[in-house]
Amino acid sequence: MWPGTNIADDKCGRLLVIECVYEETLIRLINIYASNIDTERKIFFKDLKKWCTDNTIILGDFNVIQTEFDISENNVFKGDVSRRELNLLLNEMNMCDVWRTANPKVRTYSRRQLVKQILKQSRIDLFKFD
């Protein structure tokens, strides 16, 4: 481990936090694996705020579709109670989806699944930072 590096987790296996110093700036990396149950995910995103500080980067499997451009044509953009909580966190922490900001209307996917012989695709693995 590098000098000045700290590691923490949530004891549930849903997040890993690594703090390190880069060019005299403390950086906090949070790797997440959010639940695939939207009500649990909503609570997770709400609780995630306590781990966020300045210079925080959140990456991992968010398990939520943020925009209609993040799903294939064979999917339906449904309501999701966790989406609002995630957006509140991102807005409050002044974070953005790096890839979506650079590619506002491009469709690309990190998850693929065959459902009744229909390929459904979504982008749920994300990288957010301030």
The CATH number of residue 108's host domain is 3.60.10.10
Residue 76 has pLDDT above 90, yes or no: no
| pTM score of the predicted model | 0.88
pLDDT tens digits for 116-127? 999 999 999 988
Crossing angle (nearest 10°) for helices 38-48 and 81-92: 10
Under DSSP, the state recorded for 71 is B
Structural domain includes residue 60: yes
Residue 45 has pLDDT above 60, yes or no: yes
Domain that holds residue 64: 6-129
For the beta carbon of residue 32, count every other beta carbon within 10 angstroms.
Answer: 21
Structural domain includes residue 1: no
Domains in the chain, number: 1
Strand 125-129's sheet: what is its strand order?
6-9, 15-22, 25-33, 56-61, 125-129, 96-97
Structural domain includes residue 89: yes
Mean of per-residue pLDDT scores for the chain? 91
Structural domain includes residue 59: yes
**Helix (H), strand (E) counts: the chain:** 3, 8
